């Protein structure tokens, strides 16, 4: 084969690859969606993974009437003295419609990232984000105690005085219940435990049934087919420019980006081999550690030094104890105490206690951490 034929062959191969990638990008939407609609999240009539049909059927099997409504006005009309209004993150609300829902008859169950929480659950304050995972209730609320561990997280809250908090996360709780103006209001920071995908895990179904089935009738505010036509009361000012762009245009832009990237790789200049450059100075690891220690000492940063020592010890102990890398220091301390047969309280104080008061206490802390690691290693 001549050089000219080889060059033409390479060009043909690149052109073929470009066509295949463009066609693949065009078919990507169909492959991702399976040619069907992705469904509506937390909809009692939707059977997709993110829907809530399984919970709705479970509630009906236990004698609870599930009324699916698509607008806040319909929700207010359907609410009564013995009803429970379920508002999820799939609901379309503005401040005016949220205010109307807040004065409707019956109790309220607010689940997930719901806008205008200060209106729907006055007195509840958001503390921050919490990792969604299996959590234990650690409270006296009967509905949570009967359900046990639940896959929840999302947002943690601090309730008003007299409220009950369950499933702690950080300084707050992912479930808060309290009574105001004759309404029992329950707020949860994550709605995934109610979906068809997660309902069968842990005690998710039990908690969802206990909370959503507390009244004979559940008014479930679902996502409307068209918020504008359904009069869901969406704020026009909250709609971004991306919301006004049709979905097909977004996929066309994605295909164009893929095509431009492939063309750039095709026509771009090939990179040469990696050049290994000699370092001007080689610093030993021991000198780096000593220098950082002197910085901590000069600034009297015993708290940071102790935090670094404890975090490093917990990271080394976690795999030896069979714990994941995401395990907290408290979990590592409890597992280490169980492994070595020691009292959990001193081990918790060692890994999670207050910072040392002086340099001598810092040195003592480091020695105790070394002893703990050696005991875990030898046990």
Per-residue pLDDT of 13-42, as tens digits, reads 666 766 666 666 655 655 554 444 456 788
pTM of the model: 0.52
Q: What is the CATH number of domain 53-234?
A: 3.40.50
Least confident window among 82-91, 192-201, 247-256, 269-278: 269-278
* Residue of 131, 132, 152 whose CA lies nearest to 206: 152
Tens of pLDDT, residue by residue over 236-247, are 444 466 655 665
In the chain, domain spans: 53-234, 285-378
Residue with the larger pLDDT of the pair 25 and 71: 71
pLDDT one-digit tens code per residue, 145-181: 999 999 999 889 999 999 999 999 988 999 999 998 8
pLDDT at 4: 53
Contacts of 280 (CB under 8 A, 6+ apart): none
* Percent of residues, the chain, with pLDDT higher than 70: 82
The mean pLDDT value of the chain amounts to: 82
What pLDDT, in 10s, does the model give residues 335-364? 999 999 899 999 998 999 898 888 888 889
């Amino acid at each position: 084969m001549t050089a000219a034929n080889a060059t033409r062959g390479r060009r043909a191969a690149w052109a073929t690859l470009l066509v295949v990638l463009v066609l693949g990008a065009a078919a990507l939407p169909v492959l991702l969606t399976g040619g069907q609609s992705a469904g509506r999240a937390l909809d009692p009539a939707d059977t997709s993974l993110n829907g809530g049909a399984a919970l709705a059927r479970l509630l009906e099997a236990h004698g609870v009437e599930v009324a699916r409504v698509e607008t806040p006005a319909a929700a207010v009309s359907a609410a009564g003295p013995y009803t429970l209004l379920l508002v999820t993150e799939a609901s379309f609300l503005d401040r005016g419609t949220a205010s109307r829902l807040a004065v409707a008859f019956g109790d309220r169950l607010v689940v997930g990232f719901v806008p205008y929480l200060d209106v729907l659950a006055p007195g509840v304050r958001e503390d921050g984000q919490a990792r969604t995972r299996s959590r234990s209730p650690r409270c006296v609320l009967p509905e949570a105690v009967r359900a046990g561990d639940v896959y929840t997280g999302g947002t943690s809250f601090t309730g008003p005085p007299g409220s009950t908090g369950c499933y702690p996360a950080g300084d707050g709780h992912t479930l808060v219940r309290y009574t105001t103006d004759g309404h029992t209001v329950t707020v949860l920071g994550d709605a995934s435990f109610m979906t068809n995908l997660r309902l069968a895990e842990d005690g998710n179904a039990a908690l969802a049934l206990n909370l959503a089935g507390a009244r004979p009738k559940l008014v479930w505010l679902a996502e409307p087919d068209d918020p504008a036509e359904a009069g869901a009361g969406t704020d026009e000012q909250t709609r971004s420019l991306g919301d006004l762009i049709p979905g097909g245009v977004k996929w066309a832009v994605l295909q164009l980006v893929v095509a431009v990237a492939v063309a750039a790789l095709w026509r771009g200049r090939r990179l040469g081999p990696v050049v290994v450059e000699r370092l001007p100075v080689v610093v030993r690891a021991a000198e780096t550690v000593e220098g950082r220690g002197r910085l901590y000492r000069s600034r009297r940063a015993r708290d940071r030094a102790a935090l670094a020592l404890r975090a490093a010890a917990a990271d080394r102990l976690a795999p030896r104890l069979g714990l994941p890398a995401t395990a907290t220091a408290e979990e590592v301390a409890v597992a280490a105490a169980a492994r070595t047969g020691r009292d959990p309280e001193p081990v918790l104080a060692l890994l999670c206690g207050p910072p040392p008061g002086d340099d001598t206490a810092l040195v003592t802390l480091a020695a105790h951490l070394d002893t703990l690691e050696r005991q875990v290693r030898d046990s």
